[in-house]
Amino acid sequence: MAKDKKVEQITDMEVDFAQWYTDICRKAELVEYASVKGFTILRPYGYAIWENIQSIMDGMFKKTGHVNVAMPVLIPESLLKKEGELVNGFAPEVAWVTMGGSEQLEERLAFRPTSETMFCDHWHSVLHSWRELPMLYNQWCSVIRWEKTTRPFLRSREFWWQEGHTIHETAEEAQAETEQQLNCYADFFENILAIPVVRGRKTEKEKFAGAEATYTVECMMKDRKSLQGATSHYFGDKFSRAYDVTFTGRDNKLQYPFQTSWGSTTRMIGAIIMTHGDNNGLVLPPKIAPVQVIVLPVAQHKEGVLENAAKLRDRLLEAGLRVKMDDSDNSMGWKCAQHEMKGVPLRVECGPRDMEAGQCVLVRRNDGEKITVKMEDLESAVIEQLDIVHNMMFEAAKKNMDENTYEAATVEEAVALQKAHGGFIKTKWCGDLACEMAMKEQGGMSSRCMPLAQSGTVGKCVCCGKETTTDIYWGVAY
């Protein structure tokens, strides 16, 4: 059948993956470009996804005792510069305010690229006793980083995120927090976003500027490039020493607390697009989809169809689902295509013939499967199907990740595999920066992480051949 241009068309992902991605961002009405390079407007549909992510994740944080705060957006230069590594890491991408009205400022002010400094400065002034520890803070905000190359969700000059910052009495406690939050992210990715992850630790080269250890959840996109989904850092007492954050301990001596930070961003929406999307558009995980079920009355001009569809919608709303009904006078085909492009996980169709038979038809977005259900079983059937959709999406993504994870013994082998298949290349690594650089130079791959699930076997470093037990993943990253 001749496809009209009624619903915006998107480029096939096999033809041009980058263009496909951009098309979805724009045409599913997730984002619009603002007038300054690298700044985007999150449109209602895109923002609704973010709101769902926020509310679920925020609930998880609160369950483990975290509280939300709001820090200022501007950081005095002198404050930012107290921790050397952090400054050096971020210097190239900090944006500055130099004027206040028509007056030149005495000291220029940085737009926050991250808020460690603000939290430390705050703790410096409010922390006194071990009895006040731990402080488990989080904030939802946007940050600014002056990126050179920008893409919606994946790399923008402003992005929205949450940044958790905590201080603890002991190193062990802080380390446990770092690990707990990493696992929290992994759970969120797998159980909410249906995106499988590899949990691991970053190398010295790839870790956060100023951290003692950086942990990550790494995901694999449909083009087999990898994307860091979220991150969790252990700082030791480095920052508290740099910013003179102290407390009086149980031993009545002045001590430095131990600190963590962890973050996840609107980039997760990019991960959703590239993990689940297809050539018909977006495919949203049911748990964060702004509209979980779209009810389409078929032949809606006929007696009783609209009223019946509205009843079905109301029943599903009553069951606590996010539901909409499309009673616009567009054709059936147009509506199907439209809601598929926007990634609605489940469609409910009901027309005169169904009404007569006392049934309706459910259609899954992820695989197009149609399921006929009795009208009276609607709620339970829909809930069941949404669950099935989530699981199928997760399994498909897991399959993609597993089937594109390769083992290599030498750099040549790794490079050849990467060229042929993309994906993760798993090797042994001695821990030497030179070997890591060699992988970058010869294969264009960066280290993704040293997985927490280490095999423990002894093998030879992929590059220098030195004996080691360390397993590491390599990949081309977003």
- 49-78 residues in contact with RNA (CB under 7 A) are none
Applying CB under 7 A, which of residues 62, 124, 128, 148 lies at the interface with RNA?
A: 148
Q: Report the residue from 12, 19, 303, 307 that binds RNA according to the rule CB under 7 A.
A: 19
The set of residues, in sequence order, having a beta carbon less than 8 Å from that of 333 and lying 6+ positions away, is none
Which residue from 425, 363, 414, 408 is spatially nearest to 389, judged by alpha carbons?
363
Decide if residue 89 touches RNA (CB under 7 A). Answer: yes
Query: Measured on CA atoms in the order 314, 316, 322, 327, is the torsion positive or negative?
Result: negative
Considering only residues 14, 15, 35, 98, which one is a binding residue for RNA as defined by CB under 7 A?
35
Supply the minimum distance, in Å, between the C-beta of residue 251 and RNA. 34
- Is residue 170 a contact point for RNA (CB under 7 A)? no
Q: Are 280 and 341 in contact (CB under 8 A)?
A: yes
Report the C-alpha gap between 114 and 192 in whole angstroms: 26
287 vs 365, beta carbon nearer RNA: 365
Backbone Cα Rg of the chain: 25
β-strand partners of 248: 129, 254
Query: Which element (helix H / strand E) includes 226?
Result: strand 226-236
For RNA, the binding residue among 12, 37, 72, 97 (CB under 7 A) is 37
Q: Which of 329, 456, 457, 458 binds RNA (CB under 7 A)?
A: 329
Out of 42, 336, 414, 450, which residue is the one contacting RNA (CB under 7 A)? 336
C-beta of 65: minimal distance to RNA in Å? 23
For strand 96-100 and strand 103-111, is the pairing parallel, antiparallel, or unpaired?
A: antiparallel
Query: Judged by CB under 7 A, which stretch of 37-45, 193-201, 239-247, 248-256 contacts RNA?
Result: 37-45
Q: At closest approach, how far in Å is the CB of 92 from RNA?
A: 6
- Restricting to residues 380-419, name those near RNA by CB under 7 A: none
Query: Which neighbouring-strand residues pair with 424?
Result: 405
Between 156 and 240, whose beta carbon lies closer to RNA?
Answer: 156
Q: Which of 264, 262, 239, 260 is nearest to 133 (CA)?
A: 260
Residue 14 contacts RNA per CB under 7 A: no
Q: Which one of residues 200, 263, 285, 286 is an interface residue with RNA (CB under 7 A)?
A: 263
Residue of 81, 108, 151, 241 interacting with RNA (CB under 7 A): 151
The pattern of x and - marking residues 273 through 292 that bind RNA according to CB under 7 A reads -------x------------
What's the full length of the chain, in residues? Answer: 478
Q: Does 38 bind RNA (CB under 7 A)?
A: yes
Q: How far is the CB of 418 from RNA (least distance, A)?
A: 12
In the complex, the smallest distance separating the C-beta of residue 465 from RNA, rounded to whole angstroms, is 25
Q: What is the rounded end-to-end Cα distance, in angstroms, of the chain?
A: 37
Contact status: 6 vs RNA (CB under 7 A): yes
The count of residues interacting with RNA (CB under 7 A) is 72
Question: Which of 13, 21, 188, 247 touches RNA by CB under 7 A?
Answer: 21
| Using rule CB under 7 A, residue 466 touches RNA | no
Residue 231 engages RNA in binding (rule: CB under 7 A): yes
If one asks whether residue 131 binds RNA (CB under 7 A), the answer comes out as no
CA torsion 57-61-66-72 (nearest 10°) is: -20
Count CB neighbours of 70 within 10 A: 8
354 binds RNA (CB under 7 A): yes
| Secondary element (H or E) of residue 31 | strand 31-33
Residue choice 121, 212, 237, 340 for contact with RNA (CB under 7 A): 340
Instruction: Assess 92 for contact with RNA (CB under 7 A).
Output: yes
Asked if residue 24 lies in contact with residue 282, where contact means CB atoms within 8 angstroms, the answer is: yes
Of these, 116, 349, 436, 471, which contacts RNA (CB under 7 A)? 349
Residue from 15, 36, 434, 453 touching RNA (CB under 7 A): that is: 36
Axis-axis angle for helices 171-187, 44-63 (nearest 10):
140
Percentage helix, strand, coil for the chain under 3-state DSSP, each rounded to 5: 35, 30, 35
Angle between helical axes of 305-318 and 378-403 (0-180°, round to 10) = 70
Q: Which of residues 171-200 bind RNA (CB under 7 A)?
A: none
List 140's β-bridge partners, or say none. 162
Q: What are phi and psi of 184, to 5 degrees?
A: -60, -45
Of 150 and 180, CB closest to RNA: 150
Beta bridge partners of residue 447, listed in sequence order:
474
In the complex with RNA, the residue whose CB is nearer, 247 or 262, is: 262
Residue 113 or 127 with smaller CB distance to RNA: 113
